[in-house]
Structure 1
Amino acid sequence: MGKKIDEGTASVDINNKLVEEILSQSNPNELFGKEGLFQQLKKRVVERILEDEVSHELGYSRHSKIAKLDGKRRNGTSEKTIIDDSGQKIVIDIPRDRDNRFELQLIPKGIRSFTGFDDSVISLYARGMTMSEINPI
């Protein structure tokens, strides 16, 4: 089984078999390179958190029929390039609502530099989003 790692207030269960599988099928360049696994993982995690943030605000999950009843609707995504702590560019899909009223908390409009990823997740948690709303990947 995995080990628990304490990262402040949250703990993450890391599956050792998954780590071994990744290491056996990858070389260091594939893990840490510009298009490496860690960059892909960061992109997927950011996009998932943004999607969950919009779902929380609108009150329904993607493809739910509830959306047709109250008028709150999604309006696809827009592409945005952000720069992470290491200076690498990450192209992410930002979800939108139809009325363009919702302001994302993780990556606000006009922000291009994405530093403090961990701090941003903790901030969302502090604002009332549960770990299950932030972290279901």
Structure 2
Amino acid sequence: MSRRKEPVIPNALLDQLLAGGAASAAFEQGGLLDSLKKALTERALNAEMDHHLATGEGVGNTRNGYGRKTVMTETGKLEIDVPRDRQCSFDPQLIAKYQRRFPGFDEKIVSMYARGMSTREIAGHLQDLYGIDVSPD
């Protein structure tokens, strides 16, 4: 009989995250996975801001609130809060300025086109999966 493999995330933590909801709802748009993705992204962006301010590039530079940004992920739209600084010198690396898609999204679209899907089929597929309207052009 094979031994059971130890989980990467402890079962007690998973039980706490899934408490009060159906496990299948965790995979839906706006579910647990989207909440985790949002929390991890915002935490990484705040860590980037801490590093930026600690380097001392701008003397007297401090945090100046947050800006809201909507990015496309594999599961749909996700609104994140991006930290700002007073001198507007913060340039995030995880999701760069003016970037509207999580890394990997564009590669999937190119992959669909390379496999023979037309641009209209890709636009229809994106509408079905993510609920976004994209021009075939």
Q: TM-score, normalised by structure 1?
A: 0.63
Partner of 2:116: none
**Does residue 81 of the first structure (1) align with residue 81 of the second (2)?**
no
Cα separation, partners in 2 of 1:24 and 1:102, compared to 1, 3 Å = closer
Cα separation, partners in 2 of 1:23 and 1:71, compared to 1, 3 Å = closer
| Unmatched segments (≥5 aa) in structure 1 | 5-12, 61-69, 118-137
**Does residue 55 of the first structure (1) align with residue 20 of the second (2)?**
no
Q: How many Å separate the matches in 2 of 1:24 and 1:72?
A: 42
Out of 77, 99, 120, the residue aligned to residue 87 of structure 2 is 99
* AA of the residue aligned to 2:99: I
**Does residue 46 of the first structure (1) align with residue 41 of the second (2)?**
yes
**Is the Cα–Cα contact under 8 Å of residues 29 and 36 in structure 1 kept in the other structure?**
no
3-state SS, counterpart of residue 35 of structure 2: helix
* AA of the residue aligned to 1:3: E
| 1:115-130 matched pairs, under 5 angstroms | 115-116=103-104
Structure 1 residue 23 displacement after superposition: 4.4
Partner of 2:20: 25
**Is the Cα–Cα contact under 8 Å of residues 85 and 115 in structure 1 kept in the other structure?**
no
Which has the larger strand fraction?
Answer: 1
Out of 1, 6, 9, the residue aligned to residue 3 of structure 1 is 6
- Per-residue CA deviations over 1:6-63 (Å, capped at 9, x if unaligned) read xxxxxxx411212234445321443112111110110011000000100011019xxx
Partner of 1:8: none
Q: How many Å separate the matches in 1 of 2:53 and 2:41?
A: 18
Highest Rg: 1 or 2? 2
Q: Give the paired residue count.
A: 98
Structure 1 residue 3 displacement after superposition: 3.4
Which stretch of structure 1 is more off in the superposition, 101-110 or 20-29?
20-29
| 1:58-73 matched pairs, under 5 angstroms | 58-59=53-54, 70-73=59-62
Structure 1 residue 78 displacement after superposition: 0.4
Q: TM-score, normalised by structure 2?
A: 0.63
Structure 1's consecutive aligned runs of 4 or more residues displaced over 6 angstroms after TM superposition are: none
Cα separation, partners in 2 of 1:30 and 1:97, compared to 1, 3 Å = same
